[in-house]
Amino acid sequence: MNYLYALIDDETRFWIAKEVSDTNYYADVHDLFKEGRKVAGKAPFHIITDGAPNFRARIENEFWREKKQLALVHKQDIRFDGQIHNNKMERMNGEIRDREKAVRGVKMDGPPIERLRIYHNYVRPHTGLDGRTPADLAGIEVRSDNKWITLIQNANRKNTKM
């Protein structure tokens, strides 16, 4: 059994980073936050998590400022109501579980999960985003009738230039 930890942007629903662990609640998620900061190019202002105890220590470790002040607001909230909640992350977890059922298991650390991440960010229109993709909202345009083909062609073009 593996557990997928993921970071998504609350506004765009863009899947920023992931980490796979064989433990739940006690996994070291330091690399998740480090990758998230690297991909985003900055530290977040807010982080919303569920009640898992492993988040608090790693968030404090990764985002302390010089004067020992936490550089962001961390909300641990597992409720489904109110203004601050992790409903968007739970919806993405459901999207992953749906795919896992369809293929009778997914290797969380490998190409299938990366393809799901690309699909989630660049191809799949989201109802909650008025039919747009997270990439659209983040200002990343993929102009094509078939976004999959365009992404593959662009990746191939980049690899052949190396």
Tens digit of pLDDT for each residue in 15-25?
A: 998 888 887 77
pLDDT of residue 113: 79
Nearest to 119 by CA among 137, 143, 96, 88: 96
Nearest to 118 by CA among 15, 7, 1: 15
β-bridge mates for residue 64, sequence order: 70
In this prediction the pTM is 0.74
Site of tokens 């909202």: 137
pLDDT of residue 12: 92
Which residues, 6+ apart, have CB-to-CB distance to 81 below 8 Å? none
Domains of the chain listed by start with CATH number: 3-161 (3.30.420.10)
pLDDT of residue 79: 62
Tens digit of pLDDT for each residue in 61-97?
A: 777 765 556 667 777 766 666 666 677 777 777 777 7
How far is C-alpha 17 from the chain's CA centre? 5
Tell me the pLDDT of the chain (162 aa) as tens digits. 777 888 888 889 999 988 888 877 778 888 888 898 898 888 888 888 877 778 877 887 777 765 556 667 777 766 666 666 677 777 777 777 776 666 665 565 566 778 888 888 999 898 889 999 999 999 988 888 888 888 888 877 766 665
